[in-house]
Structure 1
Amino acid sequence: MMTYFPEEVVEHIFGFLTAHCDRNAASLVVQGVVPPAARLRRNCYAVRPERVAARFPAVRSLTVKGKPHFADFNLVPPDWGGLAAPWIEAFASSPTAAAAGGRGGRAGGGGGGAPLEELRMKRMVVSDECLETLARSFPNFRALVLISCEGFSTHGLAAVATHCRHLREIDLQENEIEDRGPQWLSCFPESCTSLMSLNFACLKGEINVAALERLVSRCPNLRSLRLNRAVSVEALSRILMKAPQLVDLGTGSFWVDHRSEAFHRLISAIERCKSLRSLSGFWDASPLCLPAIYPICSNLTGLNLSYAPAIQGSDLIKLIRHCWKLQRLWVLDCIGDKGLAIVASTCKELQELRVFPSDIYGAGSATVTEEGLVAVSFGCPKLHSLLYFCHQMTNAALITVANNCPNFTRFRLCILEPKKADPLTNQPLDEGFGAIVRSSKGLRRLSLSGLLTDQVFMYIGMYAKKLEMLSIAFAGDSDKGMLYVLNGCKNLRKLEIRDCPFGDGALLENVAKYETMRSLWMSSCDVTLGGCRALAAKMPMLNVEVINERTKAKSRGSPSDFHKVEKCVYRTIAGRGTTPRFVWIL
């Protein structure tokens, strides 16, 4: 019946739909009313950029995710794909982009709607040419967010700074960026006063500090600034004097003689920043400099110390004692169980905790154990998001955590030694993780580790009804484990599996499930090429990829169906036209 409503009514209805699934369902119902559906669509999961550009010509904000999540762990070959160029070219060549260019970038007026204003990309290969095209094609462009991307340099950033005159946000997180000189910051025109967020913490080279200071001083609405380690304490002090309105700060290098005049200038500058709520950075931090931030710690809701290995022991504990309003804490495991106990007694509002490994290879002694996690669960009942790297865990601890914190939406536990059992009982950790999925009814993301049998997957299938993403490694006994998950988790969207004994039986038992999922990634499992071919034959609407770098069988003729594939990916989206030699599309 919605197809008979006037466009104005449909647009009004769409305005009340905020959930992705609701907007998707509504757009299917009103396919006959393409203009409002296309204008108001917020999210689209598709792989062909030209189709997205044609279907949604008035899109203002675009988010594209490229390589699978396992790329973060070097499990995806570098040349797998995830190119940004087709996306940027498709939208740059669309009629609305051309119309906007003809209007000189003025928003509103003229046909076709507004062109692209915001672009967010994750795990993509982005070239300088891409950024040049982006900057020249969308004169009203406002926000660029690149996360875990590669392939570009500071020359590309210079193009964006030069041509995008209305920029509000440049956010560069965990990217591999080639340093080709510090001058890109000087490319912002003197008329640029619109920046609200600037993050270049991942840049490794020197920067033009004078240009940065001028840029900061003429952007009164700047709220978030994250610097790289090339920015000295002296420069940081001058910047803070020009931007006391900052809410989020990533410091540069945080080392200076605490007896020097520069240190006292830093204290004065920080004391002026009454609005600061989040701190990160602390590159090369000297523990003796930490008292400089004590005056603002009582207002902090976010603190990221994951890049500050020099801050340990008593110095870290002293800092935490001042941060009693924290809601988000990222820290290295050198905080120890004692430090986590201080977190528990101090940070009663804590909602998100991430504990990263300072020694990922585990050569040193254990720094955090189940004791620290249990302490946090007792002291921080609002905790709902956890990433915890440790060397051991017990069932009793996980059961206690489950009882104390029943509102987890994200629970990721990484025991650095694969298949490690409960050190007290030598039993698998099935019952502990089972308690987590029983108690946390709203759990959406789960990562497992340690010694685990099919039993834990039975618990997940029975209780994790809202689970959307599951990551598994070195777990399970048989195909039953994977089938428990596929059959039980009705909302599952992403399933990542590595080094598990799941084979063709698990892969092919419930193929209809893949139609409701975004992706299935299996690496170093017991799946064969024949099983992948059978899946492709049964479900022609799926995109089945087999990745095998070792044999490169694509150039050696057809391998046997019994050939175990190194990696395979199943995605419920349209296929792609070009692939590297080691990727076989079935």
Structure 2
Amino acid sequence: MRGHDLINTILPDELLIEIFHHLDGQKESRDACSLVCKRWSRLESMSRETIRIGASGIPDWCISLLVKRFTGLRSVFIDERLPVCLQFQTGFSHRGNGLVGRISRHFKPRITRGSSDVLSLLSTLHYAPENSGSEEAELELCSLSDAGLTALARGSARLEKLSLIWCNAVTSQGLKSIAENCRALRALDLQGCYVGDQGLAAVGECCKQLEDLNLRFCEGLTDTGLTNLVAGCGQTLKSLGVATCARISDISLEAVGAYCTSLESLSLDSEFIKTSGVLAVAQGCQSLKSLRLQCINVTDEALQAVGAYCLSLEVLALSSFQKFTDRSLCAIGKGCKNLNVLTLTDCYFLSDKSLAAIAVGCTELTHLEINGCHNIGTSGLEAIGRSCQGLSELVLMYCQKIGDNALLEIGRGCKLLQALHLVDCSSIGDAAICNIAQGCKNLKKLHVRRCYEIGDKGIIAVGENCKFLTDLSLRFCDRVGDEALIAIGRGCSLRYLNVSGCHRIGDAGVMAIAKGCPELVYLDVSVCRNVGDMALAELGEGCPLLKDIVLSHCRKISDIGLGHLVKRCTRLESCHMVYCPSVTAAGVATVVSSCLSIKKVVVEKWKVSQRTRRRAASVLADVCLEL
């Protein structure tokens, strides 16, 4: 009956809360529910378990407010990497019990609530900073401090996941508050935080359920802190990440090997870690499933131990090793039969023998990346093609010795291949791409960059054979022209296309894509000097779902083409059109006024009129007008 609230009359609080729990991860839906009525707002606040906060400018203030509003928080993510433009106008004052603060229009808090809700939350906070006017006080306002972390700890005793990314002002004192109050903590990310040993030791003493710990770029830590932590909660620890911590050495890893018998994932990036540390982990953490190493002082002995003890290893990533040889991967191939992801980056002393050993021993391999390993050539990859039939993703970067025959074997043996990435592989040409197209008909993603021997013939074969292809990138491939895109438009329904720097591509190729790929959402035709207004007009007619377009350095594009584009591409969110000499202030105004969803426009500042700037400031969330 009209005007009668049946839902609130019939449904009890418990059922509404259960409904809200089914909306976890759907921010817009939860925000909408909280605006229905006061009851829904109260219940939604009680049931919300996750919040994410960016560079708010006043994080302590926001935290104090949020923990009062959301009393059931289990996951909090704070990331201060993004800069914030915060300009306070002096004159904070009290009116009754509220706070009146004049904050300039440049201050835009980024938190996971609707803007109207944020304003209502701000009005409930009874806190006013002193008007010191000093730069130091203003900087303190811009970074989360121990006071904010203490407020979070006291208001969120059920907290299970806490992420503090580049919160530089947080110290051991704040971390101790978290440890003492949030004893159910399971995941802690301290990337870029300058916390000390005392805070980490407190976590080890109080948080006996801790499973995931990230200490990347925590420069204030030493072996003492990490050793005390793993001594306290090492039995439950499953994931550990350490990077650029100059005072964490093999002593810590020996403690990890002794206490963390359930460790499944380890990521190490340090020039101070040596063989003995990794050796201790391999011997003590035999449940290890993921190992990522960038340690230039570790030798073959460490990887041989991994191959001997860590028989459950599934993911292995080795980067910038100067002391590893083929003996390492031969040991991995012999012992780690469950390996399915292998990444090799700048491992100069590995050769085809290593890949042959992996191919024979690790037949379950699904993802392989070879980046800058200059001694690996065609025969090694041929072995992978013959033995690893479940390979689904292959990445070859800066591999000058790998030729067409390698991809011939991949095409023959790896029928399940879905993604292929080629970067600066000068010996791979059309024959290789034709073999892939004919053998790997399930290919969904093809990314090629600066492979100058690949041209129309190979891409035409892809269009004729790979009907499931949705993501195509052909950056700076000089031999690819319109004929290739015409074949792609006929045979594939792309969602993402990047042909940046392909000088032979013009209107005909882009028009074929517009006609054949109605679900296209991303297009980059930058530095394609033959693409003009006719292509944009056809895109406007054929690709109504387009969200992002990059037109920079396209000299034939003008205001007329932009007008045709935005007539039907009303979902456009970003448009890059730097160094398009025929685009004027009128064209920029057309894009801004026609696309209500636009969020980012990259163009020369002098092409933006004062009227467009005023309109953008009132309508858009974020307009980028600078280069």
Q: TM-score, normalised by structure 1?
A: 0.68
Q: Deviations over 1:253-276 (max 9, x none)?
A: 387665xxxx2x743443332222
Give distance in 2, aligned partners of 1:328 and 1:86.
Answer: 46
Amino acid at match of 2:509: G
Give 1:112 deviation, angstroms. 3.5
Give distance in 2, aligned partners of 1:22 and 1:256.
Answer: 51
Give 1:320 deviation, angstroms. 3.7
* Higher alpha-carbon Rg: 2
Counterpart of 1:227 in 2: which secondary structure? Answer: strand
Could you say which residue in structure 1 is the equivalent of 2:356?
Answer: 291
1:40 aligned residue (39, 44, 48): 48
Could you say which residue in structure 1 is the equivalent of 2:277?
Answer: 211
Query: Are residues 1:10 and 2:16 paired?
Result: yes
Pair 327,116 (structure 1): closer, same or farther in 2 beyond 3 Å: same
2:509 aligned residue (432, 439, 447): 432
Give 1:280 deviation, angstroms. 0.5
Give distance in 1, aligned partners of 2:171 and 2:575.
Answer: 32
1:412 aligned residue (487, 498, 519): 498
1:396 aligned residue (483, 488, 510): 483
Give distance in 2, aligned partners of 1:131 and 1:268.
Answer: 43
Query: Are residues 1:112 and 2:156 paired?
Result: yes
Contact 2:50 2:75 survives alignment (8 Å): no
Give 1:328 deviation, angstroms. 2.0
Contact 1:444 1:469 survives alignment (8 Å): yes
Could you say which residue in structure 2 is the equivalent of 1:448?
Answer: 525
Query: Are residues 1:62 and 2:41 paired?
Result: no
Contact 1:447 1:472 survives alignment (8 Å): yes
Q: Deviations over 1:464-493 (max 9, x none)?
A: 344444444322511344455544334444
Counterpart of 1:226 in 2: which secondary structure? Answer: strand
Could you say which residue in structure 1 is the equivalent of 2:587?
Answer: 506
Q: Deviations over 1:313-352 (max 9, x none)?
A: 4443443443332222222264566655554444332223
Q: After the TM superposition, which residues 226-375 of structure 1 pair with which residues of structure 2 at under 5 Å, given as runs? A: 226-228=292-294, 230=296, 231-252=298-319, 253=321, 263=327, 266-282=329-345, 283-284=347-348, 285-332=350-397, 334=400, 335=402, 339-340=406-407, 342-357=409-424, 366-375=452-461
Pair 304,492 (structure 1): closer, same or farther in 2 beyond 3 Å: farther
Amino acid at match of 2:267: N
Q: Deviations over 1:25-72 (max 9, x none)?
A: 44554675345534437676865263764447525153759569xxxx
Pair 340,96 (structure 1): closer, same or farther in 2 beyond 3 Å: farther
Give 1:293 deviation, angstroms. 0.6
Query: Are residues 1:197 and 2:261 paired?
Result: no
Give 1:397 deviation, angstroms. 1.4
Give distance in 2, aligned partners of 1:145 and 1:317.
Answer: 43
Give distance in 2, aligned partners of 1:250 and 1:340.
Answer: 22
Contact 1:398 1:432 survives alignment (8 Å): yes
Higher relative contact order (CA 8 A, sep 6+): 1
Pair 380,396 (structure 1): closer, same or farther in 2 beyond 3 Å: same
Pair 254,128 (structure 1): closer, same or farther in 2 beyond 3 Å: same
Counterpart of 2:396 in 1: which secondary structure? Answer: strand
Contact 1:144 1:170 survives alignment (8 Å): no
Could you say which residue in structure 2 is the equivalent of 1:155?
Answer: 219
Q: Deviations over 1:529-583 (max 9, x none)?
A: 752674235633646677xxxxxxxxxxxxxxxxxx752xxxxxxxxxxxxxxxx
Amino acid at match of 1:197: S
Contact 2:145 2:174 survives alignment (8 Å): no
Could you say which residue in structure 2 is the equivalent of 1:103?
Answer: none
Pair 328,513 (structure 1): closer, same or farther in 2 beyond 3 Å: farther
Could you say which residue in structure 2 is the equivalent of 1:225?
Answer: 291
**Unaligned 5+ runs, structure 1:** 69-81, 100-110, 423-427, 547-564, 568-586
Query: Are residues 1:520 and 2:590 paired?
Result: no
Counterpart of 1:528 in 2: which secondary structure? Answer: helix
RMSD between aligned residues = 4.6
Give distance in 1, aligned partners of 2:167 and 2:164.
Answer: 15
Counterpart of 1:290 in 2: which secondary structure? Answer: helix
Give distance in 2, aligned partners of 1:204 and 1:234.
Answer: 17
Amino acid at match of 1:211: G
Give distance in 2, aligned partners of 1:26 and 1:129.
Answer: 35
Q: After the TM superposition, which residues 374-393 of structure 1 pair with which residues of structure 2 at under 5 Å, given as runs? A: 374-376=460-462, 380-392=466-478, 393=480
Give distance in 2, aligned partners of 1:363 and 1:467.
Answer: 23
Pair 477,495 (structure 1): closer, same or farther in 2 beyond 3 Å: closer
Could you say which residue in structure 2 is the equivalent of 1:579?
Answer: none
Give 1:521 deviation, angstroms. 4.4
Amino acid at match of 1:421: R
Pair 132,227 (structure 1): closer, same or farther in 2 beyond 3 Å: farther
Question: Larger deviation: 39-48 or 320-329?
Answer: 39-48
Contact 2:283 2:309 survives alignment (8 Å): yes
Pair 347,324 (structure 1): closer, same or farther in 2 beyond 3 Å: same
**Unaligned 5+ runs, structure 2:** 84-109, 111-138, 180-184, 193-215, 427-447
Contact 1:352 1:383 survives alignment (8 Å): no
Could you say which residue in structure 2 is the equivalent of 1:142?
Answer: 187
Pair 97,380 (structure 1): closer, same or farther in 2 beyond 3 Å: same
Query: Are residues 1:461 and 2:501 paired?
Result: no
Contact 1:324 1:348 survives alignment (8 Å): yes
Contact 1:306 1:332 survives alignment (8 Å): yes
Give 1:366 deviation, angstroms. 2.1
Pair 168,542 (structure 1): closer, same or farther in 2 beyond 3 Å: farther
Give distance in 1, aligned partners of 2:481 and 2:15.
Answer: 56
Give distance in 2, aligned partners of 1:65 and 1:488.
Answer: 38
Give distance in 2, aligned partners of 1:376 and 1:132.
Answer: 56
Give distance in 2, aligned partners of 1:198 and 1:411.
Answer: 36
Could you say which residue in structure 2 is the equivalent of 1:98?
Answer: 153
Q: TM-score, normalised by structure 2?
A: 0.64
Give distance in 1, aligned partners of 2:142 and 2:515.
Answer: 42
Pair 24,95 (structure 1): closer, same or farther in 2 beyond 3 Å: same
Give distance in 2, aligned partners of 1:489 and 1:320.
Answer: 43
Pair 482,44 (structure 1): closer, same or farther in 2 beyond 3 Å: farther
Amino acid at match of 2:219: H
Could you say which residue in structure 1 is the equivalent of 2:504?
Answer: 421
State the percentage of identical aligned residues. Answer: 20
Give distance in 2, aligned partners of 1:377 and 1:185.
Answer: 56
Q: Deviations over 1:260-300 (max 9, x none)?
A: xxx2x743443332222111125223233221211245312
Pair 503,118 (structure 1): closer, same or farther in 2 beyond 3 Å: farther
Pair 256,22 (structure 1): closer, same or farther in 2 beyond 3 Å: same
Contact 1:356 1:388 survives alignment (8 Å): no
Pair 492,477 (structure 1): closer, same or farther in 2 beyond 3 Å: closer
Contact 2:312 2:336 survives alignment (8 Å): yes
Contact 2:307 2:336 survives alignment (8 Å): yes
Give 1:310 deviation, angstroms. 3.7
Amino acid at match of 1:412: N
Give distance in 2, aligned partners of 1:275 and 1:87.
Answer: 47
Pair 364,383 (structure 1): closer, same or farther in 2 beyond 3 Å: closer
